[in-house]
Amino acid sequence: MSEPRIRRAEIAIEQRHVDRVYSRLAELRSQAEAMRAKGYEIGHGAQREAVFEQASMLFERDMMVFHANQTLQTLDAEYEGLVFGRLDQTSGEKIYVGRLGIRDAEFDNLVTDWRAPAAAAFYQATAEEPMDVVRRRVIRCSGQNVLDVDDDVLIADAVPDHMSVVGEGALMAALGRSRGEKMRDIVATIQREQDEVIRAPWRGVTEITGGPGTGKTAVALHRAAYLLYRHRRQLGGAGVFVVGPSGVFTNYISRVLPSMGETNVELRALGEVLDGIVATRQDPAKLAAVKGSLRMRKVLTRAMRDTPPDVPDEIRIVYRGEVLKLRGKELEKVRRKVHSHGGPPNRSRVRAAEALLEALADKAEENARTDGRTVDRAELITELGERIDFHRFLVVWWPVLYPGEILRWLADPARLARAGKGVLNRDEVALVAASFADRVRDWSVADVALLDELRVLTGPPPKRRRKPQQIELDAAPPARGVESHGPHRPEHYDEYSHIVVDESQDLSPMQWRMIGRRGKYASWTVVGDPVQSSWPEPDEAAQARDQAFGPRTPRRRYTLRTNYRNSKEIFDLAARVVAGHAEDGDLPEAVRTTGLEPEIRMTDTASLEGSVHSAAKELLDAVEGTVGVICAMDRVPEVSGWLTGHSDERLKVVGSLDSKGLEYDGVVLVEPTELITESTTGRRVLYVALTRATQQLTVVASGREWL
């Protein structure tokens, strides 16, 4: 038989199995639907029963509906590409590998979950170590239709006469396909070195390093799915937290875990870690470096303890016909004394009241001494402590402190200089104060870590009294865990069982502290590439990172070395640009060639707009998937304006720092020299930008310095 006929015959064989799987899936679906309907029936019946019985029936109803919903949700999430692999073993046995395990009515395996130990050989077997696998087959489907198959023979001598072998490499085919707006999962083509990291033990700290495009993000997300499958009891309840650099990035990766049926994972950008705030604005690099440094702890502590603006600077209170007064300096001394105990100010009002009363008693004693009188100190303290005018003064003099308010105070350079004495230099004070001066601006990403630090330093504000909540007995409570927008957790939740940090090389020390607070009991997976780091103080960040991990052991480290994203032609240019800023061993090896060299288009400033416009148009015509136009952060609004004429949804304009972790089929890189000069680690930022393209890259530049 000719190769195309063999291929068609093999596709037909797999189609028969895939048909069996989907018809079994339809059966399971209708069983789950029937269970849900039965659950609701119990609920309806319950409305007519006594309250006690009602409660237990409601519980049963909720459990049934919850399980049925969960099954339906999983079945629907895994519907696309449900079966993707097949192993033929030396024993003659065959195993189908897929997104979830499915058995037929006789409990025989139709599909084995990719995370199950029985499926490990699909990823780990090689010709050197075949693990009893004769042929490994990747099956590519669209919906329920098998489109293609690709085989690897691992034990050539063991191939029986009737066994056909087709195709040449599912990986290369997958890498060559066009990219969409959202990242795809890679379950069908995970490579051995990646699989080892995905299946590494869950305890302790697992570090994944590697150059751009080596699949670090993909591996970390698949690891989260794997850990939840294998260790659901230990990790599922408290939950997994995934932190990425920006909202654009978390949106980009948001499809991967749900496509593997995982909804019990919270995905947040660094600007969204603190509940109630969504920050997307990036401070200029120099400012972000000051705000992110550990020195800010001292600055914030002092700022919080300083006298708040607008508090009264005198107390006058009449006690038994005599006016007792404490003025500015005396009041400041009392404030200092209260803070010297170190407790959070929002928990220290009672202590503040006591200290004020003591100071007033001292004052009364001082006055009395000059007149030769005596004062009953205890009586004075009790009497004044019950007075309404004393309490009115106390609440304004020792106000509840809110983190945002304290940061806004620091717009006053004199106040910031006091808080930053010996810690920040004059330029830094001016820079930081100016950034808080603009009240209309929302918080920046770097501010979020400062707000979180202050949240802990100030302590929780006293709770407002609320009306008791009405409990509606006949309203069906939503079953926990089945909402479409992920799990509900209490505010400022810090009990995650596993934390995944992506692009960790860019976390500032203050950001490490913020994430560390949420991982007090967690094991960690930390992903990064030191060569892509835009953080200027790596040692300080490493120290803060170690503190975040705490005593967690063991620590294991994996390095991924193959760049799956960029063509060799594109990566060679990126490697040239970063040469001298990275050790050779830190750069990955790109394995795919396209024959398309990146294009460097020289232009002058006046023609820049036209050149960018036409380069973007050409790439949109040339590639099937997305096109990213990457420029310096400051230029984003301008470049977006240039391209408003392009109505193609595949086109995106993105600032250099926001391009971290993303990828496009075609990239237009605007004025590379500006990326180098916009920060102290600019050459690395340029390296990141140059490694975003999977197929074609056009650099539009008015100079050659960057080369």
List residues near ligand ATP by CB under 6 A: 171, 174-175, 186, 189-191, 194, 210, 212-218, 529, 564-565, 661, 663, 691
Using CA atoms of 603, 605, 610, 616 in order, give the dihedral in degrees to the nearest 10.
70
Which residues, 6 or more positions from 147, have their beta carbon under 8 angstroms from its beta carbon? 11, 140, 141
Query: What b-and-e string marks burial along 544-569, b requiring 16 or more CB atoms within 10 Å of the CB?
Result: bbeebbeebeeeeebbbebbbbbbeb
520 annotated as ligand-binding: no
- Token pair belonging to 219: 């591996």
What's the closest the beta carbon of residue 485 comes to ligand ATP, in angstroms? 24
Nearer to ligand ATP (CB atom), residue 252 or residue 512: 252
Considering only CA atoms, which of 369, 453, 364, 356 is closest in space to residue 404? 453
What's the closest the beta carbon of residue 185 comes to ligand ATP, in angstroms? 8
What's the closest the beta carbon of residue 285 comes to ligand ATP, in angstroms? 19
What's the closest the beta carbon of residue 625 comes to ligand ATP, in angstroms? 11
Nearer to ligand ATP (CB atom), residue 46 or residue 527: 527
Nearer to ligand ATP (CB atom), residue 46 or residue 208: 208
- Token pair belonging to 240: 């997994």
Nearer to ligand ATP (CB atom), residue 236 or residue 588: 588
Nearer to ligand ATP (CB atom), residue 147 or residue 434: 147
What's the closest the beta carbon of residue 182 comes to ligand ATP, in angstroms? 11
Do you know the residue count of the chain?
707
Considering only CA atoms, which of 706, 683, 678 is closest in space to residue 581? 683
363 annotated as ligand-binding: no
Considering only CA atoms, which of 221, 210, 212 is closest in space to residue 243? 221
Nearer to ligand ATP (CB atom), residue 61 or residue 216: 216
How many other C-beta atoms lie within 10 A of the C-beta of residue 235?
A: 22
Nearer to ligand ATP (CB atom), residue 435 or residue 679: 679
What's the closest the beta carbon of residue 393 comes to ligand ATP, in angstroms? 56
Nearer to ligand ATP (CB atom), residue 223 or residue 339: 223
Using CA atoms of 26, 32, 33, 37 in order, give the dihedral in degrees to the nearest 10.
160
CA distance 96 to 89: 11
Nearer to ligand ATP (CB atom), residue 213 or residue 516: 213
CA 675 to chain centroid = 25
Nearer to ligand ATP (CB atom), residue 212 or residue 682: 212
Q: Are 664 and 634 in contact (CB under 8 A)?
A: no
Beta pairing class for 102-103 and 109-113: antiparallel
Where do we find the tokens 């009449």? 318
214 annotated as ligand-binding: yes
Q: Are 79 and 65 in contact (CB under 8 A)?
A: no
- HEC-encoded secondary structure of 231-276: CHHHHHCCCEEEEECCHHHHHHHCCHHHHCCCCCEEEEEHHHCCCC
What's the closest the beta carbon of residue 622 comes to ligand ATP, in angstroms? 19
Nearer to ligand ATP (CB atom), residue 43 or residue 588: 588
What's the closest the beta carbon of residue 616 comes to ligand ATP, in angstroms? 21
Helix count (H) and strand count (E) of the chain? 25, 21
94 annotated as ligand-binding: no
Residue in the shown chain whose Cβ atom is closest to ligand ATP: 215
217 annotated as ligand-binding: yes
Nearer to ligand ATP (CB atom), residue 482 or residue 573: 573
Give burial (CB, 10 Å; 0-12/13-18/19+) of 631. Answer: buried
What's the closest the beta carbon of residue 422 comes to ligand ATP, in angstroms? 39
The angle at the Cα of 91, spanning 85 to 94, to the nearest 5 degrees, equals 25
Nearer to ligand ATP (CB atom), residue 186 or residue 285: 186
Beta pairing class for 240-244 and 109-113: unpaired
Give burial (CB, 10 Å; 0-12/13-18/19+) of 480. Answer: exposed
- HEC-encoded secondary structure of 375-417: CCHHHHHHHHHCCHHHHHHHHHHCCCCCHHHHHHHCCCHHHHH
210 annotated as ligand-binding: yes
DSSP class of residue 326 equals: E
CA distance 419 to 432: 12
CA distance 269 to 251: 9
Nearer to ligand ATP (CB atom), residue 345 or residue 588: 588
What's the closest the beta carbon of residue 529 comes to ligand ATP, in angstroms? 5
- DSSP 3-state of 498: strand
What's the closest the beta carbon of residue 83 comes to ligand ATP, in angstroms? 17
Computed from CA positions of residues 356, 358, 362, 364, in that sequence, does the dihedral angle turn out positive or negative?
positive
What's the closest the beta carbon of residue 480 comes to ligand ATP, in angstroms? 31
CA 630 to chain centroid = 22
215 annotated as ligand-binding: yes
- DSSP 3-state of 577: helix
What's the closest the beta carbon of residue 685 comes to ligand ATP, in angstroms? 13
- DSSP 3-state of 642: helix
CA distance 529 to 687: 12
Q: Are 338 and 355 in contact (CB under 8 A)?
A: yes
What's the closest the beta carbon of residue 249 comes to ligand ATP, in angstroms? 9
Task: Give the side-chain half-sphere CA count within 13 A for 198.
Answer: 27
Annotated binding-site residues for ATP read 210-217
Annotated binding-site residues read 210-217
